[in-house]
Amino acid sequence: MWSAARALATRDLQLLWRRRGDALQPALFALLVLVLFALALGNDRVMLARVAPGALWVAVLLSGLLALDTLFRGDAEDGSLEQWLLAPVPLAWLVLVRVTTHWATTALPLLIAMPLLAELMALPREHWPVLFVALALGTPLLALLGAVVAALTVGMRRSGILVALLALPLYVPVLVFGAGSVTAAAQGFDPVGGLLLLAAGLVATLVLAPLAAAAAIRIALE
Amino acid sequence: MPPAANPAPALLSAQALRFTRNEMPVFGPVDFEVGTGEALLVQGDNGAGKTTLLKVLAGLLHADGGSIRFQGQPVLPALRARVIGYLGHLPGQKADLSALENLRFLCGLHGSRPGMSLEDAMATVGLAGYEDALARQMSAGQRKRLSLARLWLSPAPLWLMDEPYANLDLEGIELVNRMVQAHLREGGGAMVTTHGAYAAPPVRTRLLVLERPA
């Protein structure tokens, strides 16, 4: 099981390294959105700080959506998914490994760049920990939910708009609690409730999403 | 010469196996079995359901009726993955990875026979010197050979080979036959689809002819 996971993770990282330009796209997209936001709102730092939690979350969420379609599509087209199905390890396990590497390469760079992005949006320093925890809980949750949607649409040739339409309703609660907890902290309320809900959601999707995605892939390949 | 009485159950046996797609029968019902040291040649016209049959056996599709047994036991996913090595139409190779990297991934995923290195397998299929070539730069025949190397490394006793001769030159066809021969000598079995009787491996062979259902 671990050797299959290691093989898959190694392959994904090698592929990513071969196409480093494409790999940077989601992170650059989020950066671009925030830079434009900061420029558009100009020197009104109070205003900027007030919209910062929402803008940061929307940028991270949309950049995740951007990379979603590539999650299983390439593997479906060249027959790699068929090999996953034939492997002696559960398909859900391979899906989980794939989503983990996907998260580590698309969302983790944003988490690491979070101080820079928060500074750009003039978010007061005392709210950074809440934002960081909310993003650390929320981005894997988004990636797992997204994997289910990507798996559902993997059988279609072109599905860009469908992925977005299916994913957005699932993403909304994450956005509400994620951005909401940061906003609550900024207004002096206790943000723990929102964060705990995100954590509970993450635990549930960690167990259920790979199973759902695996079932969807099986159906799509028939 | 009739085959000696074999106390061990056949590697694979299927009874009344059939598959329908959108209410249209694709093949079957068919009965067959593959014993150890035996090759089953599946012949049929285009659209007769050869590929579908192999996919059903590999577990990529669900049969609509009939039963499959591996080594006398009913199919369970874990057993199926251990018994079957499947060579399909899609190679499952990443265009941006080198031949060796592709092989390493597939062997990591499926497991490989102990005591056999990836380089040896590549030399066996005539790809020595191509270890670092990107899959995108390789010809269709070379990619097929890389898939054969993966099958060669697989510990599975039963090979399901879907059109293994496609895209291969004469020497490659010879290679497939040699591989099947060696595999059967070690007690494996093979199921080979082909649309012509040419190039059958020189081994104990059964024949299954699929016809398009009326």
Taking only the tens place, the pLDDT of each residue in B169-207 is 888 888 888 888 888 888 888 888 887 655 566 777 787
Encoded tokens for B85:
């090595």
For residue B131, give the 3-state DSSP assignment. coil
Of the candidates B61, B96, B106, the beta carbon closest to that of A83 is on B106
The whole-number mean pLDDT for each consecutive block of 10 residues of chain A, a chain of 222 residues, reads: 86 88 86 89 83 90 86 87 88 93 90 89 87 92 93 81 87 91 86 91 95 92 82
Q: How many CB atoms lie within 10 A of CB A192?
A: 13
Question: Which percentage of chain A shows pLDDT scores above 70?
Answer: 100
Give me the interface pTM, i.e. the ipTM.
0.84
CA distance B31 to B18: 9
B1 pLDDT tier (thresholds 50, 70, 90): very low
User: What is the span of the domain harbouring residue A78?
Assistant: 2-221
- Does residue B2 register a pLDDT over 50? no
Interface of A with B in 27-86 (CB under 8 A): 74, 78-80, 82-86
Q: Do A14 and B104 touch (CB under 8 A)?
A: no
Q: Does domain B12-209 have CATH number 3.40.50.720?
A: no
Question: Which position has the token pair 């892939």?
Answer: A217
CA distance B116 to B85: 17
Encoded tokens for B43:
């012949």
Q: Do A6 and B108 touch (CB under 8 A)?
A: yes
- For residue B133, the one-letter residue type is A
Residues of chain B positioned with their CB less than 8 A from the CB of A14: 97, 101
* A143 contacts: CB under 8 Å, gap ≥ 6: A64, A99, A102, A103, A106, A107
Taking only the tens place, the pLDDT of each residue in A114-136 is 898 888 888 888 888 899 999 99
Of the candidates A74, A83, A88, the beta carbon closest to that of B78 is on A88
Please state the rounded mean pLDDT for residues B52-81: 85
Q: What domain count does chain A have? A: 1
DSSP β-bridge partners for residue B87: B161
**A206: which DSSP letter?**
H
Q: Does A13 touch chain B (CB under 8 A)?
A: no
Do A186 and A46 form a contact (C-beta atoms < 8 A)? no
Residues of chain B positioned with their CB less than 8 A from the CB of A222: 60-62
Of the candidates B78, B89, B108, the beta carbon closest to that of A3 is on B108
Sketch the domain layout of chain B as residue ranges. Answer: 12-209
Confidence (pLDDT) at B7: 58
Q: How far is A205 from chain B (nearest CA, A)?
A: 24
CA distance B195 to B44: 6
Q: Give the pTM.
A: 0.88
